[in-house]
Structure 1
Amino acid sequence: MKKMLTLSALAWATLAPSAMAAEEVNVYSYRQPFLVEPMFNEFTKETGIKVNVKFAKKGLAEKLAQEGEYSPADVILTVDISRLSELTDKGLVQSVDSDVLEKNIPAQYQDENNEWFALTTRTRSVYSSRERVGKLGDDFTYDDLAKPEFKGKICTRSGKHPYNVSLVSSMIAHQGEAATKKWLEGVKANLARKPQGNDRAQVKAIKEGLCDVSLGNSYYLGKMYNDKEQKAWADAVYINFPDQKTTGTHVNISGMAMAKYSPNKDNALKLMEFLSGDKAQSMYAEVNYEYPVKNGVKRSALVASWGEFKADTISLDEIADHHSSAIKLLDEVKFDL
């Protein structure tokens, strides 16, 4: 019996290190591999926790709902407040209590019930032709896009894309539905073509003379500058930050949440806290030209060259509350038709 106990103890001692080395955390991500994998590698290097990732372009909420309590997901990474709100509305995530996250992430950029947290911010900017329009001044507002002077000069992607829906939602939060509907009608009347393509395609259209101004997320300018073909598009425009003398430029986020049935909750929290810290925030800033959400973390040199701007301080939770109304208004004015 004594010999058997000794052998058992030896076997446990042999297995224990392997079990420890097998610590892991499972991530479901809308964010692309090139952006998040370097951070995950650094996290594993620091903690010994392996990060397993499932990448997707759509359908993560549906997948989580289908898997239910048997889901292996620990952390969800996504973009846009609408997608984060979808996770909370469907009960697919859980509240997280963390002093580290509370310290690193401003209150404006986290859910009031601690069910999601921002990782980066990006503006919904207006790009203008350097040749035909020039830099738009500090007096320029989103409202100005509905003025007659922009007749036939605006390009945009689908109004019902989440980035535009969030902008329309913020307009509703500030001005109400009636004023926002009138604004949408004015913008639609000023479109140079039917909404189509992505944000970069609109800048290309400006370069080609199809339109003079477009709506687009700020980080796309950085991406275009680092693409051999698209650099010429970026060189053809200025980036502008509307509403500098009023409410401030509309800001959206990329963010994270802990899955409701996280099987590796402790490791999930460690990863979330790491992603909110200085090292990961700096990596985000350099690789994807986004604004770090943590105060004090430097922007990339390119992003810093665009200058300072006043950001809208409205709660993202409040913006999310108006998403269904925004889609209703876009349908009513037949924005994409």
Structure 2
Amino acid sequence: MIKKLNLFTIIFIFIAKFSYAAEVNVFSARHYDSDLQLYEQFTAKTGIKVNVVSGKDKALEKRIIEEAESSKADLYITSDAGRLGDLDSKGFFQNSMTPAIELAVPSNFRSQNWTGISKRARIFYYDPNKISLEDLNGIKYEDLADKKWKGKIVIRKSNNIYNQSLVASLIKNNGKDQTQLWAKNLVSNFARKPKGNDRAQILAVAAGEAELAIANTYYYALMLSGQKGEDQKKAALKVLPFFPNQNDRGAHMNVSGGGILKNSPNPQNAKKLLEFLLTKEAQEHIVNNTFEYPMLESVKPHPIVQKMGMNFKQDLTTKVDDYQKNQADALEIMLKAGWK
């Protein structure tokens, strides 16, 4: 015989169930305090509490893999499509798409199991006292292998995921053999051994240690904003940005993004959060605090970023999902070329 539940028991079960469902657990490798403000806005709108575990990519990925089915993580958010693709290739994401996400995000900036949230371009920065616009006219990433650039280029180490994704995109477009030759010649054009982050490359050009740097756009904008101090702002003002490959596929693009984990206890709430991050309100908040490019065409970048160039041609043909597929070959090529 089935016992009838009293009113208090029914209320308790309902509250317990609602309380459990009204949350989403985010593992985030993004280091922006402004993201936390976004999560608070999401909670205010939906009533869904956002619990955030912040950390470095490798540590978070290790935890997700080790905890497996017992993991409480719903959503993994990080920078670079290569990182998202790597975790996806290990089977730790589920289908994260909804009609709203598919409508907001162009197909080349997402996969079936994760989506880009914001964009960044990896471009050139040059010393206008040593390099003219005529020197750069029509230049491509591929052209940096030319001997004319010997001793003039600075870039981060080969273990940097942004560089690996750039080289992976070159493999996708030009093939492994051609990219291997490119990497070998590029290394011979380095002004110094790779070291430091992207801002360090821009600082090297400003200091006269090199003539051209390769770095992500938001680093340069961050320096210009003054948030990294007046010295870095003054250094950034000494160099100028340049968007390569404007006569063919366009500048190399990457994303910050997120995907719903396979063992997510709250997948529907995770989808709602992803959808929220792709609203106009959230996109404006992101670009005005991180200097990244918006995923939505209806949203303008930060004014500093706009001054760098609003109408440059983006590479919209190379799917960011392809970066992970060529990541191992990219690292092999870089190391073989002597790219330390």
Same fold (TM over 0.5): yes
Q: Name the counterpart of 1:108.
A: 108
Q: Name the counterpart of 1:206.
A: 205
1:305 to 296, 304, 307: 307
Q: Which residues in structure 2 correspond to 1:279-298 (within 5 Å)?
A: 279-298=281-300
Is the CA contact (8 Å cut-off) linking 2:287 and 2:294 kept in structure 1? yes
Q: Which residues in structure 2 correspond to 1:109-258 (within 5 Å)?
A: 109-111=109-111, 114-135=112-133, 137-226=136-225, 227=227, 228=229, 229-258=231-260
Q: Name the counterpart of 2:339.
A: 335
Determine whether 1:266 maps to 2:263.
no
How far residue 137 of structure 1 moved from its aligned partner, in angstroms, is: 3.9
TM-score (norm. length: structure 2): 0.92
What SS does structure 1 have at the residue aligned with 2:91? coil
TM-score (norm. length: structure 1): 0.92
In the alignment, the residues of structure 2 paired with residue 41 and residue 224 of structure 1 have an alpha-carbon distance, to the nearest angstrom, of 28
In the alignment, the residues of structure 1 paired with residue 64 and residue 16 of structure 2 have an alpha-carbon distance, to the nearest angstrom, of 30
How far residue 300 of structure 1 moved from its aligned partner, in angstroms, is: 1.4
Q: Name the counterpart of 2:323.
A: 319
Letter aligned with residue 309 of structure 1: F
Letter aligned with residue 101 of structure 2: L
- 1:114-165 per-residue CA deviation (whole Å, 9 max, x = no partner) reads 1010011111101101332244644111122112221111111102311111
Determine whether 1:65 maps to 2:70.
no
What SS does structure 1 have at the residue aligned with 2:269? helix
| Structure 1 runs not aligned, ≥5 long | none
How far residue 320 of structure 1 moved from its aligned partner, in angstroms, is: 2.6
In the alignment, the residues of structure 1 paired with residue 97 and residue 291 of structure 2 have an alpha-carbon distance, to the nearest angstrom, of 29
What SS does structure 2 have at the residue aligned with 1:230? helix
Letter aligned with residue 299 of structure 1: P
In the alignment, the residues of structure 1 paired with residue 251 and residue 53 of structure 2 have an alpha-carbon distance, to the nearest angstrom, of 33
Letter aligned with residue 113 of structure 2: E
In the alignment, the residues of structure 2 paired with residue 19 and residue 175 of structure 1 have an alpha-carbon distance, to the nearest angstrom, of 53
Is the CA contact (8 Å cut-off) linking 1:21 and 1:49 kept in structure 2? no
How far residue 33 of structure 1 moved from its aligned partner, in angstroms, is: 3.9
- 1:310-337 per-residue CA deviation (whole Å, 9 max, x = no partner) reads 111211223332111111111211211x
Letter aligned with residue 61 of structure 2: A
Is the CA contact (8 Å cut-off) linking 1:134 and 1:238 kept in structure 2? no
- 1:214-256 per-residue CA deviation (whole Å, 9 max, x = no partner) reads 1100111111112223111211111111010122111111110
In the alignment, the residues of structure 2 paired with residue 24 and residue 311 of structure 1 have an alpha-carbon distance, to the nearest angstrom, of 37
How far residue 9 of structure 1 moved from its aligned partner, in angstroms, is: 2.0
In the alignment, the residues of structure 1 paired with residue 307 and residue 207 of structure 2 have an alpha-carbon distance, to the nearest angstrom, of 25
- 1:251-277 per-residue CA deviation (whole Å, 9 max, x = no partner) reads 111110001111112211111111111
What SS does structure 2 have at the residue aligned with 1:319? helix
In the alignment, the residues of structure 1 paired with residue 179 and residue 34 of structure 2 have an alpha-carbon distance, to the nearest angstrom, of 35
Is the CA contact (8 Å cut-off) linking 2:29 and 2:56 kept in structure 1? yes
In the alignment, the residues of structure 2 paired with residue 109 and residue 187 of structure 1 have an alpha-carbon distance, to the nearest angstrom, of 28
What SS does structure 1 have at the residue aligned with 2:308? coil
Instruction: Using the TM superposition, name which of 159-168 and 226-235 deviates more.
Output: 226-235
In the alignment, the residues of structure 2 paired with residue 245 and residue 160 of structure 1 have an alpha-carbon distance, to the nearest angstrom, of 30
What SS does structure 2 have at the residue aligned with 1:165? helix
In the alignment, the residues of structure 2 paired with residue 202 and residue 319 of structure 1 have an alpha-carbon distance, to the nearest angstrom, of 23
What SS does structure 1 have at the residue aligned with 2:321? helix
What SS does structure 1 have at the residue aligned with 2:34? helix
Instruction: Using the TM superposition, name which of 224-233 and 184-193 deviates more.
Output: 224-233
Q: Name the counterpart of 1:90.
A: 90
Is the CA contact (8 Å cut-off) linking 2:125 and 2:213 kept in structure 1? yes
How far residue 96 of structure 1 moved from its aligned partner, in angstroms, is: 2.4
What SS does structure 2 have at the residue aligned with 1:191? coil
How far residue 15 of structure 1 moved from its aligned partner, in angstroms, is: 7.9
Q: Name the counterpart of 1:26.
A: 25
Letter aligned with residue 271 of structure 2: L
In the alignment, the residues of structure 2 paired with residue 18 and residue 222 of structure 1 have an alpha-carbon distance, to the nearest angstrom, of 46
Q: In structure 2, do the counterparts of structure 1 residues 259 and 14 end up closer, same or farther at CA, with 3 Å as the change threshold?
A: closer
Is the CA contact (8 Å cut-off) linking 2:97 and 2:113 kept in structure 1? no
In the alignment, the residues of structure 1 paired with residue 81 and residue 269 of structure 2 have an alpha-carbon distance, to the nearest angstrom, of 25
Letter aligned with residue 105 of structure 2: I
In the alignment, the residues of structure 2 paired with residue 295 and residue 51 of structure 1 have an alpha-carbon distance, to the nearest angstrom, of 27
What SS does structure 1 have at the residue aligned with 2:121? strand
